Amino acid sequence: MLNPWGSFTFADGLQYQDNNWDYCNAYDRRFHSERSNGFRPPGETQLTNVHPPPSIPDGCYDCADGFYDPNSRVVTSYTGRFLRNTDDSEHEWIVRTCRKAWDEPAGGDPQNSFATRSEEDSKIVS
């Protein structure tokens, strides 16, 4: 399918392709900057396309083009300029998908995690 609007280049230089789009798929999850410049050294985890990633304001999310405040439902640029109000669909996607300013457990029961079991309870029985 041909793009009737011409070409599209993202801010980081990545050019969109209608066909054979191989960016950030199940086979290659690298960011564009990793594809262009290589991987960071061991111990320097790259969480976003920009390294180091911007600090997220308290209570907000990093939604790739700025910060999202779920209380006001407003996205601002990384420099603080208003970008847009979100609809319900975008709000749900950001809250479900994007990096947030706080850490929380990924699930499971911390009381039953392998790290908190006694040595006796951790023995493998065959």
What's 25-70 look like in SS3? Answer: CCCCCCCHHHHHHCCCCCCCCCCCCCCCCCCCCCCCEECCCCEEEC
Same domain, yes or no: 34 and 61: no
Containing 96, the helix (H) or strand (E) segment is: helix 88-97
Q: For position 68, what pLDDT does the model report? A: 97
Classify residue 125: in a domain, yes or no.
Answer: no
Classify residue 122: in a domain, yes or no.
Answer: no
Structural domain boundaries, residue 71: 54-102
Yes or no: say if 86 and 95 are a contact pair by the CB < 8 Å rule. no
**How many domains does the chain contain in total?**
2
Same domain, yes or no: 61 and 32: no
Classify residue 117: in a domain, yes or no.
Answer: no
> Is the whole model's pTM more than 0.85, yes or no?
no
pLDDT digit string (tens) for 28-75?
767 777 778 778 778 877 777 777 778 899 999 999 889 999 999 999
